[in-house]
Amino acid sequence: MCAEIRVAMNMSSTDINEQLTNTIDELSTEQSMKGIFHEHRDGDPLPSGRDLEEIIELSRSVLFPGYYGNSNIKQSTVKYHIGVNMERLHKLLTKQIMAGLLFNQDCHCAYTIEEQELCRRNAEIIALTVLERYPEIRHMLSKDVDAAYEGDPAAMNEGEVICCYPVIKALTNYRIAHELYREEVPLIPRMMTELAHSETGIDIHPAATIGKHFTIDHGTGVVIGATCIIGDNVKLYQGVTLGAKSFPLDENGKPIKGIPRHPIIGNNVIIYANSTILGRIHIGDGCIIGANVWVTKDMKAGTKKYRTARPDKLDVFFEQGGGI
């Protein structure tokens, strides 16, 4: 019998309670929670991952009726189903937007019913503004579906793309989150895109700007930074990073936030697997970047950059018939 088991068997209920109490006391000290504790004001709604998941599911059923949500939907009933989902969406979005708006407030003083109602009304208007953009979001997503279908010979039809391709799920989250970001809603847009990150392996910051007819083949491991700007008809492959090269520091040696630091990608650009494009550089229209390439300087329109091939000793060995 190991020593840990013998000790546990000799502990009384009092010993266990005392040990738990000591641990609880240690976890509850102000010093141990510094920087990782958020105190909510009474009455403030909490940002909810569960509510955001429902918002995404409802949004997918509205944007792609018949592919998500109710399987019995027909042309004659589609308006009813969209209407029911939009009403629920407005309620949930209002609550989560209000949670985001209040989350960044440091004041813990009580607030009046009038102040609470004003905040709720503001959240309600923002939610309505974002939902009014759903027709345009659907149009953008339909072009993204076209891009994925046209660019992949393995795709049999658009329905397969909508149901199976992780890029469409990631872009649905992103395009909704981006509209919330445009309305200056804190926290909630980032939570939305991180849900997609967990689901698909595609990490798109809601602040990034992405044009129409965009796709990511396979998708896993793609990173698109906050200040990245992507034009129309752009295709990325798995493992591509559009990131920052370095961060200017303030007088305290900490990175200055909010400055443009990610690439600007032109129209009709293709970036192949596992390439890394860093810094506020310009990749011109029609450029092609091959796989496993590191890019930190501007590329003129229509240029190509590939990794220079160097013969590997193992490749030479096999070509000469060495085998294993």
SS3 for 206-271 is CCCEECCCCEEECCCCCEECCCCEECCCCEEECCCEEECCCCCECCCCCECCCCCCCCEECCCCEE
Position 283 pLDDT exceeds 50: yes
Asked if residue 105 has pLDDT above 90, the reply is no
Q: How far is CA 133 from the centre of its chain?
A: 19
Better-scored residue on pLDDT, 71 or 245: 245
Pairing of β 235-237 and β 276-278: unpaired
Q: Which comes out higher in pLDDT, residue 95 or 113? A: 95
Domains along the chain? 44-201 (1.10.3130.10), 208-324 (2.160.10.10)
Helices (H), 104-184: 113-132, 134-150, 158-164, 166-182
307 or 263, greater pLDDT: 263
Q: Confidence band (pLDDT; 50, 70, 90) for 277?
A: very high
Q: 22 vs 30, 54, 144, CA distance in Å?
A: 15, 39, 55
Give the pLDDT confidence of 172-202 residue by residue, as tens digits.
999 999 999 999 999 999 999 999 999 999 9
Residues 114-172 pLDDT 10s:
878 899 999 999 999 999 999 999 999 999 999 999 999 999 999 999 999 999 999 99
Across all residues in the chain, what is the average pLDDT?
Answer: 90
109: confidence class by pLDDT, cuts 50, 70, 90: low
Q: What integer is the mean pLDDT of 255-259?
A: 88
**Where does residue 32 rank: exposed (0-12), middle (13-18), buried (19+ CB within 10 A)?**
exposed
Average pLDDT in the 243-251 region? 87
Contact 155, 73 (CB under 8 A): no
pLDDT of residue 234: 98
Predicted TM-score (pTM) of this structure: 0.87
Report the alpha-carbon distance of residue 307 to residue 292 in Å, rounded: 7
Distance CA 70, CA 73 (A): 6
Confidence check: pLDDT of 301 > 70: yes
Which residues, 6+ apart, have CB-to-CB distance to 69 below 8 Å? 57, 58, 60, 61, 62, 81, 85
More confident residue, 72 or 272: 272
What Rg value do the Cα atoms of the chain yield, rounded?
25
Q: Note the residue count of the chain.
A: 324
> What's the rounded mean pLDDT across residues 222-241?
98
Cβ(205)–Cβ(226) below 8 Å: yes
Report pLDDT for 110.
Answer: 62
pLDDT above 70: percentage of residues in the chain: 89
Residue where the block lists tokens 């992103």: 174
322: pLDDT confidence band, cut at 50, 70 and 90? very low
Checking phi first, is residue 201 left (phi over 0); if not, alpha (psi -120 to 50) or beta?
Answer: left
Tokens of 121: 């009304």
Dump pLDDT digits (tens) for 4-43: 555 556 778 888 899 999 999 899 898 888 888 777 666 6
- How confident is the model at residue 321, as a pLDDT? 42
